[in-house]
C-alpha cells in the first residue's frame, strides 16, 4: 500500500470514528480520580440577580404596575384586610385580589417594590416559598393577569 493510500485510509477511519486495532484506550486510575473528585453544591453557585425566565432590564422593583379598567370595580382594601385578619386556618382572599385592592387604594398605579411590600402587609401571611423574591412573584402574577398592566 502506498503512502497516499495509507493517508486516505487513515483519514477515512478518523471520519468514521473507528480506531485501528493497534491503538488502545488510555488506562484511567478510577480510585485516584474519585479521591480528587469534589462534589458540586448549589450553595457554591452564585444566584443570578433574578430567577425570572427572561431578565428584566434594570431593577424589577422599579417597574410600574397599573390597574386596568375602572378603579371602583376593584375590591375595597378595607374589606380585603378585614377578611384576611380572621383566625388561623380560615380561608383568605387570593393574592391577586389583594394586589388589585392595593392598586385601587393607591390610585391605580404604583411601583412594583412598593406594591410587593403593601401586598405582604395586607395579605397577613408569608408569600409562597420558591425561587422568586417578593417583587418577582408579584411581577409574575401581575404579568399573567388580564386586569393589571406592567410597564
- pLDDT number for residue 119: 92
- pLDDT number for residue 25: 64
Ranges of residues in the chain with a pLDDT under 50 are none
- pLDDT number for residue 16: 57
What ranges do the domains of the chain cover?
60-150
Q: Are 138 and 116 in contact (CB under 8 A)?
A: yes
Q: From the centroid of its chain, how far is CA 47?
A: 11
Among positive and negative, which fits the CA dihedral 122, 47, 61, 148?
A: negative
End-to-end CA distance of the chain: 74
The 3-state DSSP class for residue 29 equals coil
- pLDDT number for residue 30: 64
Amino acid at each position: 500500500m502506498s503512502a497516499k493510500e495509507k493517508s486516505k485510509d487513515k483519514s477515512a477511519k478518523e471520519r468514521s470514528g473507528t480506531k485501528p486495532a493497534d491503538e488502545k484506550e488510555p488506562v484511567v486510575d478510577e480510585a485516584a480520580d474519585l479521591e480528587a473528585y469534589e462534589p458540586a453544591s448549589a450553595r457554591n453557585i452564585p444566584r443570578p440577580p433574578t430567577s425570572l425566565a427572561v431578565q428584566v432590564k434594570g431593577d424589577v422593583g422599579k417597574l410600574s404596575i397599573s390597574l386596568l379598567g375602572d378603579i371602583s370595580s376593584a375590591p375595597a382594601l378595607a374589606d380585603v384586610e378585614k377578611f384576611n385578619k380572621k383566625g388561623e386556618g380560615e380561608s383568605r382572599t387570593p393574592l391577586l385580589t389583594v394586589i388589585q385592592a392595593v392598586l385601587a387604594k393607591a390610585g391605580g398605579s404604583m411601583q412594583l417594590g412598593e406594591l410587593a411590600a403593601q401586598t405582604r402587609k395586607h395579605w397577613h401571611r408569608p408569600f409562597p416559598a420558591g425561587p422568586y423574591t417578593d417583587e418577582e412573584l408579584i411581577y409574575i402574577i401581575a404579568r399573567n393577569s388580564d386586569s393589571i398592566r406592567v410597564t
